[in-house]
């Protein structure tokens, strides 16, 4: 199946009525006048327009989609007679520790979907850390899909070096160590708070952006 056919199938299954592909080169000047370099030239994260788009799509919209999928999976399991607890995406429940009630990344790691990198992100062989996760806890008798994947970061420290506040120590993940051995969550949270006060957006994502395992697929 070619790229267009795959997209068309997805659009049709989403009940959309129209799909088109445009060559924007002929309107480059107009696009630049309206949105500036932020839209016309695949810019960096410092531009507010890009930050708004990044936050809206990569977080808000994707989280909504993930929560919908989790609800659908939970309903199917519940209808089959099993207990379920869908865990919402990106909902922090502990401000002091800056964490959610459950680690989606750890679940994905234990399911054999990737390894936890030096940025404390779940890194997959397919798209690096450029993925978001959702979890459904259940007592259904499901077999594990895999075992924890060995880390493949090697000597790479790009995510450590690019962090504006040096929140990562560069230590490889170890399940018997606390997260604080690898990551200063308070530094990251304070930086995001500064970003919000300056631009109105809690957005960074540089550690995700720079990871070679994701960039080679970008």
Question: What DSSP character marks residue 168?
Answer: B
Supply the pLDDT for residue 121: 95
Q: Do 135 and 59 belong together in one domain?
A: yes
pTM of this structure: 0.75
Q: What range defines the domain where residue 169 resides? A: 45-215
Q: Do 97 and 38 belong together in one domain?
A: no
Q: Do 79 and 89 belong together in one domain?
A: yes
The region that residue 122 occupies, defined by phi over 0 for left and psi between -120 and 50 for alpha, beta otherwise, is beta
Supply the pLDDT for residue 42: 43
Cα of 218 vs its chain's centroid, Å: 14
- From first to last of its 218 residues, the chain has per-residue pLDDT tens of 577 787 778 778 877 777 677 665 676 776 577 666 655 554 444 466 667 777 777 788 889 988 988 888 888 889 889 888 888 987 776 666 666 788 888 889 989 999 999 999 999 999 999 998 888 888 888 888 888 899 999 999 999 999 999 999 999 998 888 889 999 999 999 999 998 888 777 888 899 999 999 986 54
Residue 10 in tokens = 């997805």
Q: Do 147 and 189 belong together in one domain?
A: yes
Tell me the backbone φ, ψ of residue 139, rounded to 5 degrees: -100, 10
What residues form DSSP beta bridges with 99? Answer: 94
DSSP codes joined into one string, 4-48: HHHHHHHHHHTT-S------GGGGHHHHHHHH-HHHHS---TTSH
Tell me the backbone φ, ψ of residue 122, rounded to 5 degrees: -80, 120
The count of domains in the chain is 2
Supply the pLDDT for residue 45: 46
Q: Do 32 and 75 belong together in one domain?
A: no
Residue 120's nearest CA partner among 164, 178, 63 is: 178
- From first CA to last CA, the distance across the chain in angstroms is 20
Q: Do 18 and 75 belong together in one domain?
A: no
């Amino acid at each position: 199946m070619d790229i267009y056919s795959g997209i068309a199938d997805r659009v049709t299954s989403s009940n959309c009525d129209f799909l088109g592909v445009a060559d924007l080169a002929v309107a480059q000047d107009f696009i630049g006048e309206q949105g500036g370099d932020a839209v016309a030239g695949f810019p960096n994260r410092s531009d507010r327009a890009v930050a708004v788009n990044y936050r809206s799509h990569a977080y808000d919209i994707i989280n909504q989609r993930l929560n919908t999928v989790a609800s659908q999976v939970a309903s199917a399991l519940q209808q089959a007679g099993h207990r379920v607890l869908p865990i919402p995406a990106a909902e922090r429940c502990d401000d002091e520790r800056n964490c959610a009630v459950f680690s989606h990344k750890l679940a994905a790691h234990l399911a054999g979907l990737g390894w936890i990198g030096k940025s404390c992100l779940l890194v997959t062989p397919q798209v690096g850390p450029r993925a978001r996760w959702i979890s459904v806890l259940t007592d259904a008798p499901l077999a594990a899909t895999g075992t924890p994947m060995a880390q493949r970061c090697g000597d790479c420290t790009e995510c450590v070096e690019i962090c504006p506040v040096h929140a990562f120590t560069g230590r490889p993940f170890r399940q018997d160590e606390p997260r604080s051995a690898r990551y200063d969550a308070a530094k990251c949270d304070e930086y995001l708070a500064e970003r919000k006060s300056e631009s109105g957006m809690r957005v960074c994502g540089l550690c995700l952006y720079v990871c070679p395992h994701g960039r080679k697929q970008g």
